[in-house]
A and B are shown apart, each in its own frame.
Chain A
Amino acid sequence: MEMNQKEIRIGFYVCHCGSNIAAMVDCPDVAKYVGTLPNVVLSRDYKYMCSDPGQELIAKDIAEHKLNRIVVASCSPLLHEHTFRGAVEAGGVNPFFFHMVNIREHDSWVHTDRKEATEKAKGLSQAAIARVAKHKKLEQKKVPIHPDVLVVGGGIAGIHAAMTLANAGKKVYLVEREPSIGGHMAKFDKTFPTLDCAACILTPKMSAVGSHPNITLLSYSEVTKMSGYVGNYDVTVKRKPRYINEDLCTGCQDCISHCVFKEPKFADEFNENLSKRRPVYIPFPQATPQVVLIDPEVCLNFKRSVLTDKCKKTCVEACGEKKAIDFTQKETLLDIKVGTIIVSTGFQTFDAKRIPQYGYGKYPGVYTALEIERLVNTSGPTGGHVVLRDGKTEPKSIGIIHCVGSRDKKTNRWCSRVCCMYSMKLAHLLKEHTGAEVYNFYIDMRTPGKGYEEFYDKLLEEGNHFIRGRVGEVTDWAFTKEEEGKLVIRVEDTLAGYVRRIPVDMVVLATGIEPHSDSNDVRRLFNMSCGSEGFFLERHPKLAPVNTFNDGIYIAGCCQGPRDIPDTVAQAGAAAAECMALIDKGHIEQEPNTAFVLADECCGCKSCLPLCPYTAITFDEALGKASINEALCKGCGTCVAACPSGSIVQNLFDDEEIFSEIKGVLAYE
C-alpha cells in the first residue's frame, strides 16, 4: 500500500444543493474552516457538486493539486456516494479514498438555527477529514450472474413480467400458489375504463405463458426457502399435490363429469362461493395450466377410513388410458437456481365483515365487489344474470358503497385507488344487466387516469346517482312503507346537506386493496422491507419504484401498493427490464465494505454465527475458526460488534477509521 506512505493530500468540497443546504448552513464558512485542518490541501464550496461541472471539478483538482483523498459534504450517500466515487476514480484515485458527509438529511433539513447547523456541518466534516486519512485502497469484486429469473405470483403482473423476459430469451420460473395463473383479473368480466372484456385480453397471455418454451410454470406451488445473493439465489419451491399428473392430463375434463357426485356440492372459490363445484374440478374454463385437480378435503376417496367405501373411483375409469389421476401424489420440493427474482404476489381485498354496520354476512342482499364481478360475468355462477341470492329476484335498486375499509384510520388508512373506477364499472354493468336504479356513495371521486374522467362523465350521462357521503349504516328495519322488506342505506347527502334513508334491494361493498395476510412471511422469505401498511417497500418511491433494498429482487403490481391494471403492467415491464439489465451485464460489482475474520485471533466461540442476517458466516470445525463468505456479506457490521475477541474486521469500518472519525468529531470545539 504505497499510497498510504505518501503524504496525505485531502480535497474538501461542501455543496449548496441549490438552497437545500445553503439556506441553513453557511457553506463558505464551512469551507473556510475545513481549509485550516491538517492534511487539507484544498477546500471549496460549490452550488451543485453532483452536476457534471461539479464532478469534473474534483477530477481537475486531483490532477492540479495532486490530491489523494477526497471528502464531499452534501446529501445522503444513498443518493450520490456512487456518483462521487466515480468522479474520484475518473481523477485517477482509488474510489475508496473518498468519504461523504451528509449535511442535508442530517443537518440542514432537520435544523432551524442557521448558526448551530453551520457548526454541526463543521464538526461532521472534521470527523470525515480525520477518517479519510486512514482509508485504505480497496477493490470491487465482480461476481457472475445466473441468467435465469424467478417470478413469484402469476397475476397480470407476474404474467406480463414472465412473458417479457421469456420473449427476450431469458429462462423464467413462474411460481403461482393457486391451481391457475390469472390472479384477480381472471375473475373480472370487463375492465375499466374501456370496458374491454377481461378474458379476451388476458387469456391469450395466459395460454402463451403455458406454452412458452422459456417459461417453466409451477402452479399450485409456493416458495419455501431462498438463500444466496444477487446473481446467485438458491430457491426451494414446494409443489402441492393436485392428485393429477400434470404431464399426463390433457384437460379433457371427462373425470369431472364422471365424478360420483352427480351435482356440484362444494363452495366454488373462484366464483367467490356463489356457486358449487365437485371434488375434482378445474377452477375456470380458461385456467392455465389446463389441468384438473382434486380437493382432498371433500373427495370421498380420501375419506375412506371415515366413510364406507362409497366411491367407485369413476373418475379414474373416465380418465382411462391417460392414467393421469394419482391418489398417492405427495408434496414435492424442487430446488432451482436463479440470478434475479420478481415478486408479484398481488393483494387481497378487505374483509367486509370487519365493518359490521354494512351488514355483510348478515343480510343476504349485501355483496362484495368481487362477488358482483362474478355475478355479471357470462361465465360466472348465474351465466351473467344478475339475481339476488335466492336465484330469481332481479334487484330494482342497487347501492354501491365506495371506500369500504379504505381511508379509515380504524381499518386501512390508504386510498385503494381503483375502487371509484371499478365501482363505476360495476354500476354501468349492473344497470346494463338489470335496468335498476343505481346509487354510488362516495367520499371523493378519484378518477385520475387516461380516459377515467371521461368514464365518470359517461356514468353521469347514463343516469346513475352519485351521492357524496360515506354511508353510516345498512340495516333491515323499516321506518316508512317504501322501506318494508328492503335494505336501508342511511347516509348524509353532503352536497344537498340532508341525511337520507335510501331503500335498495342490493348493496355492493367496494372493498379496498390490502396486503395479503401472509405478506410478512413473504417479506421475510425474500429479505424485503414493508411499509407500515404491509405493502412491500420500494427502494425509492420515485426513482427506484420496482427495486427493493435487496439487490436482484424486484417488485411489481399490487404487492407494492394499490394500482390498476395499466400501472401494474407498466411496473411489471419495468421489473423485467431491471432483471435484464443485470443479466445482460453478466456480472455485478460487489461493495468491498465486507467483513473478514482474522483467523489467528478467532477463538472459535461461534457467537457471530447465529447473528448474521444473511447467513454469510460458516464455521470450520476442523480448524475451529469462523469464516465469512464475502459474496454473501452485506456489510451490516453485526458480527463485528458482537465478536468478543475483536477478531472480525470490516473494510471501510476498521477500528482505526472509526476511532479517528470519533476523535475528529470530538476535536471540534
Chain B
Amino acid sequence: MAELLRTIKYESDRVKGFGREVMSVPGCEQLESCIQCGTCSGVCPLSIYMDSTPRQVMELVRSDFKNEVLHSRTIWLCASCYACTVECPRQIRITDIMYELKQRAIHEGVYPKKFPIPVLAKEFHKMAHNHGRVTENWLATWMFLKTNWLAAIGMWKLGLGLFMRGRFSLKYEGIKRKGELARMMETVDNIDIDKLTDVKPKRKPAH
C-alpha cells in the first residue's frame, strides 16, 4: 500500500507573517482582496501541468503556507505571460507574486532538485552578472549539463541546426566595461533595501 500522507493542516504548519511579507512587495499588496474566483487559473496556459493552480498558490500565500507554496511546481511553470495579471478582477499582480515566490525559493534553496528552471534562472543571472550579456546557446548548454546531461545530448540536433544557420556563436558575448557593471551590483549588495522605510507602501489604516 502506498505511503499515507497527513493532509490536515495545523496552525503550526503555517509560517505566520509569510503572506504579509510577500504582500509588502510593491505591486503585491492587492493579494489581500483575492476572491478566489479562479480567473487566473482559467486563463493560465500553463495551468495544464501545474500541481496547484495559480488561484491555489494565491491562497497558500495569503494563508502563510510558505513551505507548501515554495515547493510547488507551479511557480516554476509560470512562463510570465501576464495573462492572469490582466484578467484578475481584483487587479492582483499574480505574475509579480510568482516572481517573488521564485526569488524566495531560490534564495532558500528549496526548489525541486534537478528541476532545470531554477538552474536556468541562476545560470542566466550568473552569466548576465559576469559578462553583462547572455549568450543563449551557452546558457542552454550549462543548464543541461547541470541538470540532465542526457537531455543535453538530446539537444545536439537543435544546436547543430542553429550552428548551420549562423545562430550559434562559439564565443561568449560580453560588454566592454564589465568592471562598471560589477561595481554597480556591489553597490546594490551593500544597500539593505528592506531598511529603506518607504519600501513598504504604507498600508491604509484599518477602520
The short answer to whether A and B are in direct contact, CB under 8 Å, is: yes
Contact A499 B44 (CB under 8 A): yes
Contact A408 B53 (CB under 8 A): no
Contact A490 B89 (CB under 8 A): no
Within 8 A of A (CB), among B18-57: 35-44, 47-48, 53, 55-56
Contact A407 B36 (CB under 8 A): no
Q: Indicate which residue in A407, A468, A490 contacts B43 across the interface (CB closer than 8 Å).
A: A490
Find the A residue at minimum CB distance from B43.
A472
Q: Indicate which residue in B41, B89, B90, B91 contacts A492 across the interface (CB closer than 8 Å).
A: B41
B87 contact set on A, CB distance < 8 A: 357, 472
Q: Given A472-B43, A499-B53: A492 and B38 within 8 A (CB)?
A: yes
Find the B residue at minimum CB distance from A413.
B89
A98 to B41, CA, bound (A): 62
Contact A470 B53 (CB under 8 A): no
Please classify how large the interface on chain A is, using the bins under 10, 10 to 19, 20 to 34, 35 or more: 20 to 34
A453-477 toward B: CB 8 Å interface, digit per residue (1/0)? 0000000000000001111110000
Is A481 in contact with chain B by the CB < 8 A criterion? no
A23-65 toward B: CB 8 Å interface, digit per residue (1/0)? 0000000000000000000000000000000000000000000
Chain B positions near chain A (C-beta within 8 angstroms): 35-44, 47-48, 53, 55-56, 87, 89-91
Contact A409 B47 (CB under 8 A): no
* Least CB distance, A194 to chain B, in whole angstroms: 30
A497 to B47, CA, bound (A): 11
Q: Given A407-B35, A492-B55, A497-B56: A469 and B89 within 8 A (CB)?
A: no
A443 contact set on B, CB distance < 8 A: 35, 37
Within 8 A of B (CB), among A307-321: none
Contact B39 A497 (CB under 8 A): no
Is A6 in contact with chain B by the CB < 8 A criterion? no
Is A494 in contact with chain B by the CB < 8 A criterion? yes
Please classify the interface of chain A as helix (H, G, I), strand (E, B), loop, or mixed, using the class held by over half of its residues: loop
A497 to B48, CA, bound (A): 12
Is A410 in contact with chain B by the CB < 8 A criterion? yes
Is A491 in contact with chain B by the CB < 8 A criterion? yes
The 7 A-B residue pairs whose C-beta atoms are closest, nearest first, are A472-B42, A492-B38, A492-B41, A472-B43, A408-B89, A470-B37, A469-B38
Q: Given A472-B43, A473-B43, A497-B53: A491 and B38 within 8 A (CB)?
A: yes
B39 contact set on A, CB distance < 8 A: 469-472, 492
Contact A470 B42 (CB under 8 A): yes
* Least CB distance, A9 to chain B, in whole angstroms: 41
Contact A407 B55 (CB under 8 A): no
Q: Could you list 18 further interchain pairs (A-B, Cβ under 8 angstroms) beyond the known A492-B41, A499-B48?
A: A410-B91, A443-B35, A469-B42, A470-B38, A471-B39, A471-B42, A472-B87, A473-B42, A473-B43, A492-B38, A493-B38, A494-B38, A494-B53, A494-B55, A497-B53, A497-B56, A499-B41, A499-B42
* Least CB distance, A465 to chain B, in whole angstroms: 16
A410 to B38, CA, bound (A): 16
A408 contact set on B, CB distance < 8 A: 89
A241 to B87, CA, bound (A): 45
A410 to B37, CA, bound (A): 15
Contact B42 A491 (CB under 8 A): yes
A661 to B89, CA, bound (A): 49
Find the B residue at minimum CB distance from A409.
B91
A657 to B44, CA, bound (A): 66
A473 to B55, CA, bound (A): 16
A68 to B91, CA, bound (A): 59
Q: Indicate which residue in B35, B36, B41, B91 contacts A472 across the interface (CB closer than 8 Å).
A: B41
A408 to B92, CA, bound (A): 11
Within 8 A of B (CB), among A469-505: 469-473, 490-494, 497-499
A408 to B91, CA, bound (A): 8
Find the B residue at minimum CB distance from A494.
B38
A468 to B55, CA, bound (A): 13
Contact A494 B47 (CB under 8 A): no
A248-275 toward B: CB 8 Å interface, digit per residue (1/0)? 0000000000000000000000000000
* Least CB distance, A583 to chain B, in whole angstroms: 41
